[in-house]
Structures are given as C-alpha cells and as structure tokens.
Amino acid sequence: MTSASRRPLMAGNWKMFKTPTEAGEFVRAFAPLVTDVTDREILLCPPFVSLAAVLAEAEGTNIEVGAQTMHFADSGAYTGEVSPPMLRELGVEAVIVGHSERRQYYNENDPDLARKVRAALDVGLMPVLCVGESEDERERGETESKLTGQLDVDLAPLAPEELPALAIAYEPIWAIGTGKTATLEMAEETIAFIRARLRALFGDAAELTRILYGGSVKAANIDDLMAQADIDGVLVGGASLDPREFARIVRFEEPA
C-alpha cells in the first residue's frame, strides 16, 4: 500500500470519448457513488470540449478535473492548441503530459515535454507525467534505460522541492488498451525503479512524489495493484468511462 505521506490519486483519462452532454451525465451518475471518499484524490480528464460540462457538474463535489494535454506556451500562433493559463482560468487543476498516445501519434518528444511540465507548474497545474516502454523495449531488456532517459529529460527543469507537486504515471505501452496488464511484480518492480531514479535525481523529495500505474486497469485488478508498496494510484483509460466501474476502482479495498 502507498505511503501515508502520499495520498492515492485515482485518475480517469477519457481520451476521445464523451460529448459535453454525455460527460455531464457521467458526473451526475458517478458523484453520488464516491461522495464519502475522503482519503484519496479523484481526477477526471475529459476531452477539451467537455471540460466545462464536467467542471460545472463537479462543482461542490470531491471530484477534480484535468486536461489530457496542453501546449507549453502561454499564447501564440499554434492553431488547435490550448495553453496553461486557458486551462487554469477555466478551473482545471491538472493536466496529463506525455501520454504514450501523444508521443506515438503526435510525435511529442522529451525536450518539449520538459517545457510542458515546467509550464504546468508555473501556473499551478499538477502535471501527470507519463513514462513507459514498448513491448519490444521490454523484451530487449531496455525498460530501465528507456525510463531513465524519459525521466532525466522530462524533469530536468525542476528543483527538488517542486517534485511532490506532480505525479508520474508508469504506463507500459504494450498494456494500454490491449487488455494485457503487467504482472503485479512487474508493475511494482518498475515503479520502485522509477522512485529510485527520482531519489537519485532529487533526493528525499522522491518519497513524497506519487507514482501511478496505468495499463488496462479495471475493477478486477485494482485491489491487488493498490496493495503494492510503491503504487500510489492509477491512470485509468477505458474502465473510467463507466461510472460504476470507475467508482469501484476509486473505492479500492485496502488489505486487512
């Protein structure tokens, strides 16, 4: 189970699902199912067009709202992009940075992601930085070198005292949307490596930084995942689209 100093973060990434109407309906169904949850943080990350609807329905609840990406610039001639100040003025509290689908389909690179992490923190957004390896990289024994490269570059602009203001999500790319899930030992071992790397870079601040697991998380495996010592929460894809399924994930049962 996660350290007492790291409050579990249960985040749902809706990807390109749910219109504003559907998003509002989700929150109205979901909020009553988690209204008494006080010992963990609940985060919903809808598409840009549904942010306002989710923010409106989540007002006065224990649900926080995040975006799925953003540009690193405050403004500029970047057609189709959204800036950190725009998200903050809307009321958004967090932003996913460097999801594997953004890296794969939109060629997001680590130097730019470092700028996004810096820009998010500068306006008071919590970055949820995603890192992870492909199946080929794992089979070649390159998981640790891949993660080291991502973390070293993506977190380069941070001072140690800033590290606890973000979350890191380990998502084995081969387990996203495939139905495959890393074994408990694999997930815990890799996340423990990430924490060790953070410790090497930032010292004791690593002990206060939440590291999440993402990759085919569902109600059926949440209790076992959250029983691992270094897993501080989850970044959930498809299972976060159903209010009852995601509520069960949020309400994971701690080991006796």
* Domains of the chain, CATH where assigned: 9-250 (3.20.20.70)
| Residue 184: pLDDT band with limits 50, 70, 90 | confident
**pLDDT value at 170 more than 90:** yes
CB–CB of 39/73 below 8 Å? no
> What distance separates the 2 farthest-apart alpha carbons in the chain?
55
3-state secondary structure of 48: helix
pLDDT at 139: 86
Nearest to 96 by CA among 158, 172, 15, 159: 15
Mean of pLDDT values over 210-239: 94
> What is the residue-wise DSSP string for 57-71?
HHTTSSEEEEES---
User: How many C-beta neighbours within 10 Å does residue 248 have?
Assistant: 19
pTM for this prediction: 0.94
Which pair of tokens denotes residue 85? 């100040």
Q: What are phi and psi of 153, to 5 degrees?
A: -80, -50
Q: What is the rounded CA–CA span in Å between residue 250 and residue 11?
A: 9
Tell me which residue has tokens 């059926």.
220
- Tens digits of residue pLDDT in 106-148: 999 999 999 999 999 999 999 999 999 988 888 898 899 999 9
The torsion of the CA quartet 202, 96, 230, 193, rounded to 10 degrees, works out to -60
In what helix (H) or strand (E) does residue 129 lie, and over which residues does it extend? strand 126-131
- Tens digits of residue pLDDT in 32-91: 999 999 999 999 999 999 999 999 999 999 999 999 999 999 999 999 999 999 999 999
Mean of pLDDT values over 188-199: 96
| Residue 96: pLDDT band with limits 50, 70, 90 | very high
Active site residues: 99, 171
**pLDDT value at 2 more than 60:** no
Q: What is the rounded CA–CA span in Å between residue 99 and residue 237?
A: 11
Taking each helix axis from N to C end, the angle separating 143-154 and 110-122, rounded to the nearest 10 degrees, works out to: 50
**pLDDT value at 5 more than 80:** no
Nearest to 166 by CA among 205, 110, 213: 205
**pLDDT value at 4 more than 60:** no
